[in-house]
Amino acid sequence: MEALVQAPPAWVKERRESAAKQFAAVGFPTTRDEDWRFTNVKPIAEANWPLARGGFKQAEALVASVNVPGAVRLVIVNGEFAAGLSDLSALPKGLRIASLRDRARDATDGIETHLGKVFNLATHPFAALNTSLLDDGVAIMVTKGAIVETPIHIVIVTGGDRPVVAHPRVLIVAGENSQVRVAQTFIGAQGSAYFNNAVAEVVVGPSALVQLYTDQRESDRAFHIANIQAHVETKGVFESHAFSTGARIMRHDIGIGLKGEGADCTMNGVYLADGERLMDTHTSLDHAVPHCTSHEIYKGILAGKSKAVFNGRIIVQLDAQKTDAKQTNRALLLSDDATINSNPQLEIFADDVKCTHGAAVGQLDEEALFYLQARGLTRADARDMLLHAFAGEVIAGLQIPALREQIETNFFARLRQDTGGHAPQDVEGR
């Protein structure tokens, strides 16, 4: 680590310095900023967060707890690639993986072309902060024409003996006609306080496919800020599936640029919150050229005094004729004190398009509950069955069976914990 800190490549140093200037100019966002008016980050901005260095004693056990059999495992501990906890034994042909620190220094694979270039840092202050401290992370490079069947599992572990901050970084570049499935799991020791400021950049080449799964199960005392930005080229396909059950404050920004004709994007997510936790999701889909499609479904389940924010923006540029874009946001409130602010947005500058959006917020259907109870289920079991069906639509989209089972088990275990319910039979029996 010290070698890169002391003598980074000139281009890394330049990007750090540029990002530091960007962050110094704007600082932490406040509730006066439109994109942050429902999310107060004072607990982050006003706290003293020492930069995390090295591992901590629970890290190995946390990694083992989310192991996905058969996957290539890449571990980032407190922002640094942990080779000793990673497992590349199943690394297939057509896939090149390295720590960003090593890859940046040997200047191979075009890392310089992409790292820090997918974002507009002026509008993403936390991404600017991450870039200003750019040191390590993982780079995943898929060669042209490679069909990677083996899933890639990135485990991002944060924590220590005191509150710390980490700035993990991921770069995924999929060459023309390639395919890859990547999962990110964010985890920390339960009960520990920390600030995880994560950034992922994805470049989807022509006719390439990238499926990205994000499982956020941080400590309930953690602050989790995550930015994902993807550029999708001609006939490329990008899928983002996000599952969130942890963190005191979570902010998830996902921005997708459809930059080549025929590009396609699927963006789905489901989150669960209780107590006084906050789940904030901002999505942005930029249809920049003609004949692109996007499909988006986000769902939330809120209990206690929890709060959620969903801001979904679809932009159709002037030349983006024949755009087909659909967006849906739904939330279930399990208590009178839970709230959500939902703001779907369409900005359409072309005239030959098909664009729809909708938002629905409510409680569980009493008629459906009565129907199930009339057939012998208790009210708690009937409720859990309906919640399972509500969230299951998104979870079913997971194309990695072992990961799907793991996420489903965790999600409904947290649901039972947060709401005092019972497990649906198909989860309880696992």
Q: What is the DSSP string of 365-422?
A: -HHHHHHHHHTT--HHHHHHHHHHHHHHHHHTT---HHHHHHHHHHHHHHHHHHH---
* Boundary residue ending a domain (238, 260, 282): 260
Alpha-carbon gap, residue 408 to 425, rounded angstroms: 13
Residue 179: inside a domain, yes or no? yes
Do residues 376 and 246 both lie within one domain? Answer: no
Do residues 51 and 195 both lie within one domain? Answer: yes
Alpha-carbon gap, residue 378 to 370, rounded angstroms: 10
Do residues 371 and 250 both lie within one domain? Answer: no
Q: Tell me the one-letter amino acid at 384.
A: D
Q: By CB neighbour count within 10 A (0-12 exposed, 13-18 middle, 19+ buried), where does 191 fall? A: exposed
* Boundary residue ending a domain (260, 277, 305): 260
Could you tell me the pTM of the whole model?
Answer: 0.93
Residue 398: inside a domain, yes or no? yes
Residue 342: inside a domain, yes or no? no
Q: Give pLDDT tens digits along the chain (430 positions).
A: 344 444 678 888 999 999 999 999 999 999 999 999 999 999 999 999 999 988 899 999 999 999 999 999 999 999 999 999 999 999 999 999 989 888 766 555 678 889 888 888 888 999 999 999 998 999 999 999 999 999 999 999 999 889 999 999 999 999 999 999 999 999 999 889 999 999 999 999 999 999 999 999 999 999 999 999 999 999 999 999 999 999 999 999 999 999 999 999 999 999 999 999 999 999 999 999 999 999 999 999 999 999 999 999 999 999 999 999 999 999 999 999 999 999 999 999 999 999 999 999 999 888 888 888 998 888 888 888 999 999 999 999 999 999 999 999 999 999 888 766 544 333 333 3
Residue 219: inside a domain, yes or no? yes
**Cβ pair 118, 202 in contact under 8 A:** yes
**Cβ pair 74, 63 in contact under 8 A:** no
Alpha-carbon gap, residue 218 to 224, rounded angstroms: 7
Do residues 371 and 231 both lie within one domain? Answer: no
* Boundary residue ending a domain (207, 235, 260): 260
- Domain of residue 234 covers 2-260
Do residues 207 and 92 both lie within one domain? Answer: yes
Residue 291: inside a domain, yes or no? no
Do residues 388 and 239 both lie within one domain? Answer: no
Measured N-to-C along each axis, helices 125-132 and 10-26 cross at an angle, to the nearest 10 degrees, of: 140
Residue 153: inside a domain, yes or no? yes
Domain count, the chain: 2
Residue 329: inside a domain, yes or no? no
**Cβ pair 43, 138 in contact under 8 A:** no
φ, ψ of residue 58 in degrees (nearest 5) = -85, -5
Residue 283: inside a domain, yes or no? no
